[in-house]
Copies of this chain bind each other. A is one copy, B any other.
Amino acid sequence: MLININPILSPDLLSTLHSMGHGDTIVLADANFPSSSLSKKLIRLDGVDIPSAAKAILSVFPLDSFIEYPVRRMEIDNKPEEINDIQHDFIEAVKSTAGERWKISSMERFKFYEETKKAYAVISTTDARAYGCFMLTKGVIKPDGSVW
């Protein structure tokens, strides 16, 4: 336990997020995503759902304002525009924790798999709702502590 640190941020997860720099990406994945086989580094959050994980991560992780879409979601097959329940909950978690300024784009499923291989780490939750996979790009924190 650490003061003012969400307990979902395990020692390994907190260390990983801290180690990342500007432009590095993480994937936040649902329970059925092939997180172990696709990741350079895997962090498991067993028993944690996507909204709780997103809120914990975004309590310390700055999003990237240097690019148009610092948040990307996996598209539902053949329904690229549809936002399902878990995606809705994730988007609400982003808004409530990181604010309203961030634009969210989408990525076709197999493209998402390819991009995952390049990500700094994959954070695997046990939220079993389908298409609950998201990619976040790390931004910049200014000397005064605010997000660029």
Contacts and interface: CB of A to CB of B under 8 A. Distances in A.
Interface in A1-57: 1, 7-13, 31-32, 44-48, 52-53, 56
Interface class of chain A by DSSP: loop
Nearest to A53: B47
A13 B46 contact: yes
A1 B128 contact: yes
Interface centre among A1, A31, A45, A46 (most CB of B within 10 A): A46
A148 to B, nearest CB: 29
A126 interface: yes
Contacts of A44: 10-12
A87 to B, nearest CB: 19
The 5 closest A-B pairs by CB, nearest first: A7-B126, A10-B46, A8-B47, A47-B48, A1-B31
Interface of A: 1, 7-13, 31-32, 44-48, 52-53, 56, 126, 128
22 contacts: A1-B31, A1-B32, A1-B126, A1-B128, A7-B31, A7-B46, A7-B126, A7-B128, A8-B46, A8-B47, A8-B126, A10-B44, A10-B46, A11-B44, A12-B44, A13-B46, A45-B47, A46-B48, A47-B47, A47-B52, A47-B53, A48-B48
